[in-house]
Structure 1
């Protein structure tokens, strides 16, 4: 899972059959129609398709619509293990309704706040968690951090997430995307050295770079 292509709105996406991304992440929030997203996921016919949602009642209701054999898992912002446990119960109900084995749908918690990073070890051990994801943009804004060229200001948070995932024996965490239109390779090399083995991507150019940087030796 080197590249996770983020799709904010399926209405603005053409065919993804030629995408080189290892995983697709479809945003289930906003004005998206959950039923349309569910159909799009089935039609995509990809091995790794995830949905991104907020842990709200609206998000939970939408999740019940899209759970199917075509869905791999859920990416969700979380600040505690109890939030993941509550979501896991909702997923279990949806799995049963879809006649799927309970536990099949995985969860990737998005750590986007200081509280989330400080609870990373507990969140990593919550039900269904496959790996962690660090959402650096929201975190930096909350902390009033202004990353420089080497982004050393984010080093502690990045290492904390890598450490928490490794302690819980999870797959390596997912790094945040780099800004559109920039060369993502230098920051990708730094992230790989820190222990990340994949990152969110915003377009196919970033996908190709991530696949190169995070390729297994």
Structure 2
């Protein structure tokens, strides 16, 4: 996974497609699911398929969130092109659903296309380990509003009620050896300091990147996931000190013990910078 910012665009709003591509986001997510009314699904599919196949991404990733259920295969087959980065699968509750999408992509000869699974129910949460090991899975996501509704929990501004689910997603991703999960959207695009603080908490929990619903949110997400000069300097210093240590452990500039586990975190910081 190379993207940090993911900007949603409704699939039936073609006047916003090019704007999203030029917004500075790492990835555009064209939404055929929740953002599109039922009677607009066919039109949105056609609009998205045409634009994805004809646009010039210029390094921006292009993802499409398809619909669940009976029309999912139709969505996938329609949007496949050389420009498509991958598919966001909503309401995933089993590895078999991912395997079915993988089969369609294979039939379409879209070997380059990746899959991100959105887990939005209690059933999906319990199936996370198997979903994380499914074919083509690049990274996982939580549909937090849907999950909270399914579980019957009330989420306040701290979102501490979702800590257990977020932790399970990070753990399942690490255990499967896939990229860290991408954090869910926030409807808050007016109080940007609060949004940035929330994004920072998610980064500390192990998420890498965040989905956005408004271009105003992009700079905050990028600021959170881009290491500062101090963080880069500290990470490099840790690796240098450990490399020069006579044994497998060393001491950092503050006199604290450092070992391979600390070095792994330092390497992750440097990877974020790249």
Task: Establish whether TM, by shorter chain, passes 0.5.
Answer: yes
1:201 aligns with 2:212: yes
1: CA distance, partners of 2:222 / 2:53: 24
Hey, what's the Cα distance between the residues in 1 that align with 2:142 and 2:174?
A: 14
What CA RMSD, in Å, does the superposition of the two structures yield over aligned residues?
1.6
Partner Cα separation in structure 1 for residue 134 and residue 125 of structure 2: 14
- Structure number, greater radius of gyration: 2
Structure 1: which 5+ residue stretches go unaligned?
none
Higher helix share goes to which structure? 2
Q: 1:36 aligns with which of 29, 32, 47?
A: 47
For the 8 Å contact 1:51–1:75, the answer to whether it is kept is yes
Deviations 1:147-187 (A, max 9, x none): 22321111000000000011111111011111233331011
Check conservation: 2:67, 2:75, Cα contact below 8 A. no
Which one of the candidate residues 42, 67, 76 is aligned to 2:89? 76
Q: TM-score, normalised by structure 1?
A: 0.91
Asked whether the 8 Å contact 2:89–2:115 carries over to 1, the reply is: yes
Q: What does residue 18 of structure 1 align with?
A: 22
Distance 1:150 1:12 in 2: 35
Distance 2:77 2:85 in 1: 14
Instruction: Name the count of aligned residue pairs.
Output: 211
Q: Which residues of 2 match residues 67-106 of structure 1 at below 5 A?
A: 67-77=80-90, 78-95=92-109, 100=110, 103-106=111-114
Q: How does 1:46-195 map to 2 (within 5 A)?
A: 46=57, 47=59, 48-77=61-90, 78-95=92-109, 100=110, 103-180=111-188, 181-183=190-192, 184-195=195-206
Give the structure 1 partner of residue 4 of structure 2: 2
* Residues 71 and 14 (structure 1), Cα distance of their counterparts in 2 relative to 1, 3 Å cut: closer
Q: Tell me, what secondary structure is at the counterpart of 1:13?
A: helix
Q: Report how far residue 14 of structure 1 moved.
A: 5.5
The structure, 1 or 2, with the larger RCO (C-alpha pairs under 8 Å, 6+ apart) is 1
Local SS of the residue matching 1:132: strand
Normalising by structure 2, we get a TM-score of 0.73
Measure, in 1, the Cα distance between the counterparts of 2:197 and 2:65.
Answer: 27
